[in-house]
Every structure is written in structure tokens, then in C-alpha cells.
Amino acid sequence: MLLLIISIFIIGFAILFLRPTKDSKYFKFLSILPFGLFLYFLQFIPEIQSAKKNLIFENQWIPSLGISLDFKIDGLSLLFSLLITGVGALIYFYASSYMSRDPYINRFYCYLTIFMGAMLGLVLSDNLISLFMFWELTSISSFFLIGFNTNNEDSRKSALWALSVTGLGGFFLLASFVMMNSITGTFSIQELFSQSEVLQSNYQYYVIIAFLFLGAFTKSAQFPFHFWLPGAMKAPTPVSAYLHSATMVKAGIYLLARFTPILSDGEVWNMVLMCVGGTTMVVGAFLSVFKVDMKSVLAYSTISALGILVFLIGIGTEIALLAASTFILVHALYKASFFMITGIVDHETHTRDLTVLSGLKKKLPIVAICAVIAALSSAGVPLTFGFISKEIIYGSTFDFDFWTYNSVLILTALVLITNVFLTSAGLLVGIRPFFGKLPEKFENIHKPDYKLWLPIVILSVFTLLFGAFPFIADQGIISAVTTSIYRSQITQELHLWHGWNTILLLSGATIVLGFILYFIIKPSHKTVEKFDSLNRIGPQNIISVIAENIKLFAFKYTRFFHNGYLRSYILFIIVFIIGIVGYKFFNDVTLKINTNDLSPFRIYEFVIFVLIISAIIVITFTQSRLTAIVSLGVVGLSICLIFVVYGAPDLAMTQFAIDTLTVVLFVLVLFKLPSFLKFSNTKNKIRDGIVSISFGILIALITLQALFYPSNKEVSKFYAENAYLLAKGKNVVNVILVDYRGIDTMIETVVLSIAAVGVLSILKYKSEDEETRE
Amino acid sequence: MELLLVILVGVLYSSGIYMMLRRSMVKLLIGIILLGNGVNILIFLMSGITKGKAPIIPADQTGFMGAYADPIPQALILTAIVISFALTAFALVLLKKAYTLTGTDDLDSLNIQDLDI
């Protein structure tokens, strides 16, 4: 299994070697890849039905961290794998015609293949970390697919939006996974099943599910993160059909379904999902009917469908989960079909505007039939698969007597409203462009080639097949899916006919109301504009304002701290040190002064001290460069005297030599320079004075405090005792420098020579300016 | 004497930082030198100062009999003095070059601000 997934990625990159225009007729054969995978996954259907054993493919990755590339096939992952590869095969086939004139078609297939591999990895992973890795990979590959039309600014922008929203969610998802791991000590999803109670009783439980929700909601475009999905419709239509109806957006649904048995506590988990899912499905469905662009209608109805799925998972009863599993399949079938139909219409007429399109059935008869089937399936008309799912969706809200009788009414009403609008939206896309009078300008449109319409026909056949004989889907896969979410054997089955009951009445009412709504609401650009103006207070706008301000803040922050002036960097660092060290010092240390061991000082020592201090004062305040340099010499030589008095003749010698050299060098180099200019004003001087004096006081206090503790003399003692015995030298300082630490001294010499070379080359270097001047 | 040296360290640090906060390049360099001196004295002080007992073994002996100054900080400071001279020399020449090219020792005039983002 690992080999399989990796080889998908390798094939993806190999596709790049195909030449876009010359090999364009071969691209349709690429659909063999997903189709072969589809057949491969089909063989697991009997296995998950009968054997009941877990199909696990174990691969070690980083065992010491508990990270593996284990893959596991159960009902849920199998359904998704079949959808990904099955719809994938159709899309690959479809795109070979749709994208045939694109100069970058090889890249397109590369991205698509990588996406497919990532998506398969995501649904098959049994390890949280590898799941997360594939999760991010789907976000990244979808970024490239959405932004495929790189010369279109809107397309680039939408891709960025999609990436940032899903990327943000992915970040929270990772946090959630890590927290689960820190509680249970495992990254394996199977092992988490048995730790469900441990997780739920932990105090971090609510944080974990909140983060998980953020990940799932951003990916599955739940309110208020839904806005990236309509934007993502800027992608080429095959991408919309694949990613944004059947696969990627359902990754969030997959995640929720996967973790329902582990994390569902029957209260908060379900409540949140029902609220968010409920809001999304109503808002999405409502907005969808007021759009003019076919793709926008589909985008919002997809959001609504995702809302329904989250809502059903939230209800969490056996029948609700069955409804959810069914609806995943139903929705994938009719929505992929819708998108591909839109693609054909767009391809042939070069518009997706519903106010313009009509009467296309004369020109595109096969497409029209498929469109009607998809529309009927989305409306839930009997004998389509949509009917079956609509029945049990109503069934699950009806069955839900969790709180009171009222909750049944509210939930059913919500679903009814959603379904009515969705029906109307489906009719808008499936019926409207094809019936009515054919405008003249569409008289001469050419017929789509078979690569475009064949996939839609296949999808329609499945819609009708499952609609007429629901037990095929049920026995085949749906019951296994439900079992893997519900975690116990299920008793419900899919039926075509449930008898005359309230649910059937609701289904009938949905269809009728949907048709009425379809005839009342005419698509017009004015309503679209009206809704667009509402967007100003929409979530997307709020987020962009926040993002803008963060950017502005970052800019100002950087400008403030990174302003290019050396002295302000020094100032910030010093103030920070004063703050943090001073805080620690005055809070935690009681000032003790060692008064016993102090050595007395003589009068001449005091004179040296006064000399240094006054020289420093002169340096600080003088206006003359020469005075400052001479005073610097005074400071250095006085320090030299201190070394003499306190038993450091070597230091005194070095200091004397170096200091003399320094002063000479200063004078040689700088004697021509004018005296100091007055750059800073008094206010700055006072500020700098305060900062530097408090820094000096802090250092002095710390020194004083450190003097209280005797220093460790062991190493010194070793050197002193062995200087003569081992190194045959009597001046211990010298022995240390040239013998014990000989290599250090050698390197120091090298540093000095490098400095000397640097000095020489700077002096020799003449810039062009100077040369011309000479 | 320790107290005097502590005060000296404080004053050297203060004046060093103050000079480094000026705009003039020469003052910046003087500040660095002062700060370096401050650090040297600090290291010297920390190991405990001993009057007049250089860490030199008397000619007729093979080891120390009485008290002696700590040799390690002395070795450290010696290195520091030499290295800081290399720094000073290099910086001075650089400064001279900058002065001949720009005609000023104002640090700000050397700034080329990055373009606005």
C-alpha cells in the first residue's frame, strides 16, 4: 500500500515529461491510473463485508517517535478511496478534452495526480502524523490547482485565500493531534479507539475537539470559514468538480466521521456539529439560489451539502450516520455531474451566466438528459439516488428525540428549508440552461466531444442504478461505512419504499416547494449585487481587515525595532537587559556585601582611582577629539598601574604597550578630523545618560554581590602547581598562554594577522572616486 | 580597594555605553574601548585581588610557598587586551576610510535605508 501511494507521486512527477501540445492526445490514457486504482480498491468490498478483520498495512517510519506510515482500510476509508479514484478516473478523462489546448496541461495532470495521491494517503492513514502530512499536502496541491490560471489575478488571490484558510485549520489540527498524543501516548488511530474514555475525561478534551473542529471546518468550508470555497471556483472546472465537490472538501467530513467514535461525548461534540452544520446548510442553500454564475450556485449548494453532512454527523444516531454515508455518495455523484455539465456549457458557449443561457437541449441533448437526472437527484425525486438519501435524512431528524419533541420540529424544519432551496438551486443549474427558447447566438455552437459527456453519462447511470436498487449501494459499501463510524453492527437498511408516512409527505413537499421557488426566483444581476454589498460585513471581509492590520502592525513593529540606527539597537538591548536582569536581581537577590575580606587601599591607589574617573569625565564631555584620545590614554595607563600594584606584571606590560600604540594610531589616523559636531540634543543626551548610568549601577551591584562568594581556585591551583613541574616555566601566566592553551594563543595570533591584512588592504584600497580625483 | 574597583567598573560601563549611544563614529570606538577596559577590570576583580604577589615562581623554587595572584584571569585579560587592539586598529582604519569617502564621521550619514516594503 505504501508502494502504491508513493508510486502515485512518482507517476505524478513523471507526467511532467510529457509534452503539452505534441502529446495532447495521450493524456486521456492517464485516466487508466485512477481507474486501475479504482478496480484495486473494488476488490476490498467483499473483504470488508465478510471477513470483519481489519485490513492493515504496516510500515515503520520513525518508530522512536511513534510515527508510522500505517494504512488501514475500513468502510469509511474504502468509500472515500473509491470516490477519489472513481470520480478521479472520470475527471482525468474529462480534463483530457477540457484542458487539451492548455499549454501547461502536463503540469495540470501532475498537480492532479499529486492531489489524488495525497487524498488517498489522507483517507487511508492510520497514524495521526501521516494523516496530518497528507492533509497539508492536499491543501498545498489544491493551492496549485485553484491558482492554475496564473495570469489571472483573481485566481491567484483565491488560491491564496484557500491555502491560508485551510492552512490555518491544519495548524490547529496538528495541535489537536499532538494533544491527543500527549494524553494517550499514541499516534495510532486504532489504538485511540480504546482510549476514547481517557480522552473524554481529560480536562483538555474541549480544547482538543475545538482544535479538531477548526481543522475540519476550514477544510470543509463550514460557516464562518465558507468563503474560500466560492473563491476556489476560479479553478478550471475539472478541478472544481474533483476537489470541491467530491473529494477535498469532504476531507473535513472524513475527519469528523473518523473521530466520531473516539471523541463524541454525546453532548458538546454533537451540539457544536449540529449548530455549525445547521447554520452552514441553511446559509449556503439560501445564498445559492440568488447567484447568476452556474459555478457560484454550485459552490454555495456544495457548502450547504457539506453543512448537511456535518449536521448529520452531529445528530449521531444510527440512522443519521447511515444518512450521512449515503449522502456523501449521492452528493458526489450528482455534484460532480453538475460541475462537469457546467464545464461543457462553459466550454461550448463561453458563458456560465444563467440569465443568458437557455434552450440548450436542442444543441446538447445528451448533456441535457444527464443534467435533468442530476437535478432530479438533488431534488430527491423517486427513482434517483437523491430520493433515498433525502428520505433517511428526514428520517434521522424525525428519529431524534434526544431532548424534546420540539427539537424534532426545529431540526426537521431546518432540513426542509435547506432542501427546498437546494432543490431550487439544482433546478437552476440542471434545468434552466437547457429548456426554453434557444438564443440566436448559441445556434452555431459545436458539439462536445465524447470525452466530455461520457463521464457524466456514467455518473448519471450510477445515480439511477443506486436510486432504483438502493440495496446495491447499501450492501456494497454504505452499511460498512456506517458501521465504521457507528462502531457497532447496524440494523437499518436503505429501502426504496418506506410506505405512506410523514417522511414521504415531507419529501413530496420539498419537491413541490422547490419547484415553486424555482419559478419565483429569477436569476438577476441586481440581486447578486445586493448580496455582494452585504459581503462588506461578511466573515471574509472581517478576516481580511484583521490580516491587513496584522501586516501593518508587523511593518510598524519592524520599523520601530529595526530602524537602521546602530545606537537605537544598542539602546533597545541595554534597556532590555536592565529591565530583565534588574527585575530578577531586585526580586530574588538580597543584597549582601562582603565587608570582611576587603583589602585596604593606600593613598596612591586612591589617586589612581580619581585620575581614571576624571579622565573618563573628560572623555565623555569634551568637544575635542584630541583631548578625548589623550584622556583615553590616561585611563589605559592608569589601569596599567592597577595591574602593577595587584600582582599582574604581564598585564601591565601588555596594557602599557597596547595603550600607547592605540593612542599613537588614533592620533595618526584622526589628527586631521575636525572636532566633534553636536549631533544630539539635550533631551537625547539625558535619556542616554540615564540608561547608561543605570546600566553601570546594575553591573556594579551585581559585581558587588558576586564578590560575596569566593571564586573557585581549583583550576588555578592546578596550573600554579604544575607550571614548573610539567611545563618547566616559572611565569604561570606565560605558561598558560604558550603551553597549556598554546593552540588558543596560536589562533589568536592568526586573528591578529587577519586584522593586520584587513588594515593594510583598507589603506591600500582606492575607490573609483578617489582614483579619478587623483 | 575592591569597593573602589567596583565603582570603577560601574563608571567604565556607564561611560562606555553612553559613548556608544552617540552618533559620532569616533565616539562609538572610544565607547567600545572603555567598555573593554571595564570588562577587563571586572574579570580581574572577580578572581579576588592579591597585592604584589605576581604568579611567578621564585627562581630557586619549583612551586609557590605563599599566596599568589590568580593566573587564569590574567591570561584571559591578556588575550582580551591584544584582541581588542586588533579590533580597534581595524575599526580605526575603516573609520578613516569612511571619513575620506563621506567627509563626516556621522553614523547616520552611512545609513542607506531599505526601500519601503
The arithmetic mean of pLDDT across residues A243-248, rounded, is 80
Find the domain containing A725 and state its range. Answer: 714-774
Q: What is the pLDDT of residue A441?
A: 77
Pick from A294-298, A635-639, B22-26, B58-62: least confident = B58-62
Determine which helix (DSSP H) or strand (DSSP E) holds A55, and give its type and residue range.
strand A55-57
Specify whether the CB–CB gap between A111 and A49 falls below 8 A. Answer: no
Write out the three cell numbers for A326.
449515503
A721 falls within a domain: yes
Q: Is the pLDDT of residue B114 over 50?
A: no
Q: Which of A562, A582, A616 represents a domain boundary (last residue)?
A: A562
Kindly indicate the confidence band of residue B115, based on its pLDDT and cuts at 50, 70 and 90: very low
10 Å Cβ neighbour count for A102? 17
Q: Is the pLDDT of residue A749 over 90?
A: yes
A666 falls within a domain: no
Q: What is the pLDDT of residue B67?
A: 77
Specify whether the CB–CB gap between A626 and A671 falls below 8 A. Answer: yes
A737 falls within a domain: yes
Q: Is A725 or A530 the better-scoring residue by pLDDT? A: A725
A92 falls within a domain: no
Per-residue pLDDT tens digits for A637-669: 999 999 988 888 889 999 999 999 999 988 888
A507 falls within a domain: no
Contact: A692, B15; criterion CB under 8 Å: yes
Q: What is the pLDDT of residue B86?
A: 92
Amino acid at A655: Q
A709 falls within a domain: no
Per-residue pLDDT tens digits for A307-329: 999 999 988 888 888 888 889 98
Q: What is the pLDDT of residue A210?
A: 92
State the helix-helix crossing angle for B25-46 and B2-20, rounded to 10 degrees: 160
Determine which helix (DSSP H) or strand (DSSP E) holds A67, and give its type and residue range.
strand A67-68
The arithmetic mean of pLDDT across residues A170-176, rounded, is 93
Amino acid at A211: F
A546 falls within a domain: yes
Number of structural domains in chain A:
2
What is the least distance, in Å, from the CA of A587 to any CA of chain B? 21
Question: Can you tell me the distance from the alpha carbon of A461 to that of A334, in angstroms, rounded to the nearest whole number?
Answer: 11
Could you tell me the pTM of the whole model?
A: 0.73
Distances (CA, A) of A731 to B59, B79, B81: 10, 16, 19
Total length of chain B: 117
Q: What is the pLDDT of residue A304?
A: 92
Write out the three cell numbers for A681.
540634543
**Closest of A308, A212, A303 to residue A265, by C-alpha:** A212
Nearest to B83 among A647, A710, A748 (CB): A748
Angle at the Cα of A622 from the Cα atoms of A617 and A626, rounded to 5 degrees: 110
Kindly indicate the confidence band of residue A552, based on its pLDDT and cuts at 50, 70 and 90: very high
- Compute, in degrees rounded to 10, the torsion defined by CA atoms A143, A144, A148, A153: 50
B42: which chain A residues are within 8 Å (Cβ-Cβ)?
699, 703
Pick from A69-83, A492-506, B81-95: least confident = A492-506
Q: What is the pLDDT of residue B117?
A: 34
Using DSSP's 3-state secondary structure scheme, residue A290 falls into coil
Decide the pairing of beta strands A60-62 and A67-68. Answer: antiparallel
Give me the residue label for grid cell 562582603.
A594
Give me the residue label for grid cell 506510515.
A69
What is the least distance, in Å, from the CA of B71 to any CA of chain A? 5
Omega cis (within 30) before A224: yes
ipTM for the whole complex: 0.91
Per-residue pLDDT tens digits for A274-302: 899 999 999 899 888 888 888 888 999 99
Chain B residue with minimum CA distance to A618: B15
Q: Which of A539, A562, A585 represents a domain boundary (last residue)?
A: A562
Q: What is the pLDDT of residue A756?
A: 92
Q: Is the pLDDT of residue B12 over 90?
A: yes
What does pLDDT average to over chain A? 85
Domains of chain B, each with CATH number or no CATH? 2-50+68-107 (1.10.287.3510)
Q: What is the pLDDT of residue A190?
A: 86
What is the least distance, in Å, from the CA of A160 to any CA of chain B? 20
Contact residues for A478 (Cβ-Cβ < 8 A; gap 6+): A79, A322, A325, A326, A329, A494
> A441, exposed or middle or buried, with CB in 10 Å at 0-12, 13-18, 19+?
exposed
What is the least distance, in Å, from the CA of A767 to any CA of chain B? 9
- How many CB pairs below 8 A link A and B? 272
Q: Is the pLDDT of residue A403 over 80?
A: no
Write out the three cell numbers for A639.
589601569
**Closest of A188, A27, A162, A13 to residue A93, by C-alpha:** A27
Total length of chain A: 774
Q: What's the count of helices (H) and strands (E) in chain B, helices before strands?
A: 3, 0
Q: What is the 8-class DSSP label of residue A497?
A: -
**Closest of A391, A220, A234 to residue A310, by C-alpha:** A220
Q: Is the pLDDT of residue A401 over 70?
A: no
Nearest to B2 among A599, A758, A767 (CB): A599
Chain A residue with minimum CA distance to B72: A716
Nearest to B69 among A646, A680, A689 (CB): A646
Amino acid at A227: F
Question: Can you tell me the distance from the alpha carbon of A680 to that of A678, in angstroms, rounded to the nearest whole number?
Answer: 6
Angle at the Cα of A193 from the Cα atoms of A189 and A198, rounded to 5 degrees: 110
Write out the three cell numbers for A302.
456544495
Per-residue pLDDT tens digits for A53-85: 667 888 888 888 888 888 888 888 889 999 999
The arithmetic mean of pLDDT across residues A580-607, rounded, is 81
Q: Is A494 or A654 the better-scoring residue by pLDDT? A: A654
A537 falls within a domain: yes
